[in-house]
Structure 1
């Protein structure tokens, strides 16, 4: 066994297939390759920057599946919604009983439960793998919350532990639970972003000559509110500033699902609810709070500054099953 920087242990030359080699999938592939995992990625085009680091990249499912020995472990790094089902439609006929497919995107948890049922009937394990940590986590050690049956978990767990930070892997329970945990996580994230953004607005409106970058650097060292988002705010102020940032905050809509789910469960979530309303307001007028949120979101996930037609489309199509 070989101990890894991520805190887990995996056997040398385990194999992992990754479908979708964008920002998250590409960084995860690089991390895996560095940790003695044979990685094959399926993408629409060849990725020389990944191949020179040891990632095999193919553009068809036959080559992708043939590279992986049975039982296969495959991670989907795809936008939520119809894209996941389209890929499963093409991929599953080439798989064998006992193979494992993990959805590492932000799919709606009821969609994941339905997909798990479909693949279970074919003898294939489907795991809903909530993935957090942004681009940095994918590259250097992520946080995984994974729902699914024990048989599939047993096969995927050694790889996921190796790709996670210490303590950053959890089998949350039955199918759907991983994506549900990630959905709640994203709601909490929204509330935290809004609070920090409002704090920036207050600091900038004060009569004091405050160096905001230094304030956030100070708060990152020992304060009660220290954490990655505070660190990202300091980094964003240092590298980008705030004056030139567009305050339009884009999102893919997952936390809207959480609000609807909370209403159905009659669970009050006023802070998360208001953070979503504030996000909508960001699309109507500029403010320092909204600029700050955009700055932090860009820092952890590479989210765009300003309006993005692709994300707007994803927001409307990424959930299949209705609540």
Structure 2
């Protein structure tokens, strides 16, 4: 099957589905799409756009074996649309769910489709809208035979080296979810680096965006996320509509919650994932949801130490001025827990009231 013979159905022509469609028609894949909104800009490019739910029309216009990519929000909407779609498909056709669905939902949906002889591939898709338009990364779970039918499409739409069949049904979305957890940890690490740079004692030469650009040229942390941090600080490319000043970016982080599922599953299996877990908690903290716990801490601190309620300038000053010496732990102890190895001049600091 040559690229010129490929016809792909895409249900949902938003940020990901729409850009995959743009990339596809640019590579001589004929695209028939369904969407709840009018998409004149896509039709001008040669993409056939029909109203959401017109699955009979979609099936008529696709060449068998039909291949349909779902680009829809996870949840019950997938089940509802899948039921309507499968009724119009034939044995040997393929449906790919490109969203961030829960992998156990994908296992159930694969069984439902296979009852009708239709292949279901849980197709973890990474790279966001920019990479969907240029070349995405796909992690695919499902029957090998179904993957072989969809492979020419995915190979064409993926970046070089960005396509893998990872295994049985559900495994594609599981792998994508682990990917998202890793992503959260990396985002949090970079964000904490920004926090340290902003709070540090040095008035750095140049803009912070220049520093991240430098780090993205040969440094160990070179990555797309570091590149995005640099561009975001400079208001370049897709950040042109962001606030001009970094301080004006809202201090609120939104997400769709799928990494929460990963953390919950890790707890069930007693798998320690402290970095990913903390990155999710930091997201929660950005939303200001925790209102009562700080009050409880303040109440108890007042009880045992008469600590103030709210801010107090003298304590704020003490946080800065209270430490005179700033010796590192390695300067104080040669071997942790062995008093005999303490440097003589430091032993006296361990006498007296430990509080």
Aligned to 1:176: 170
Report 1 or 2 for greater relative contact order, CA contacts < 8 Å, sequence distance ≥ 6. Answer: 1
Cα displacement (A) at 1:264: 1.6
Cα displacement (A) at 1:46: 2.8
- For residue 281 of structure 2, the aligned residue among 277, 280, 288 is 277
Cα displacement (A) at 1:165: 0.5
After TM superposition, the structure 1 stretch with the greater mean CA deviation from structure 2, 205-214 or 191-200, is 205-214
Post-superposition CA distance 1:79-129 (Å, at most 9, x none): 000110110121111111111000000000000000001111110000000
User: Where does the alignment leave 5 or more consecutive residues of structure 2 unmatched?
Assistant: 236-241, 290-355
- For residue 190 of structure 1, the aligned residue among 184, 197, 215 is 184
C-alpha RMSD over aligned residues: 1.1
Cα displacement (A) at 1:260: 1.0
Post-superposition CA distance 1:268-298 (Å, at most 9, x none): 000000001111001119xxxxxxxxxxxxx
Detail structure 1 runs of 4+ shifted over 4 Å in the superposition.
Answer: none
Q: Using structure 1 for the length normalisation, give the TM-score.
A: 0.84
SS at match of 2:162: strand
Aligned to 1:318: none
Aligned to 2:66: 72
Alignment of 1:84-103 (within 5 A): 84-103=78-97
Aligned to 1:306: none
Aligned to 2:15: 23
Find the aligned partners of 2:149 and 2:74 in 1 and give their Cα distance: 24
- For residue 250 of structure 1, the aligned residue among 247, 251, 254 is 254
- For residue 222 of structure 2, the aligned residue among 226, 229, 238 is 226
Cα displacement (A) at 1:13: 2.8
Cα displacement (A) at 1:207: 2.1
Find the aligned partners of 2:111 and 2:85 in 1 and give their Cα distance: 16
Find the aligned partners of 2:110 and 2:5 in 1 and give their Cα distance: 28
Alignment of 1:1-323 (within 5 A): 11-59=3-51, 60-210=54-204, 211-239=207-235, 240=242, 241-284=245-288
Aligned to 2:332: none
User: Where does the alignment leave 5 or more consecutive residues of structure 1 unmatched?
Assistant: 2-9, 286-323
Post-superposition CA distance 1:31-85 (Å, at most 9, x none): 0000000100001233110011111101122211111012100000000001101
SS at match of 1:208: coil
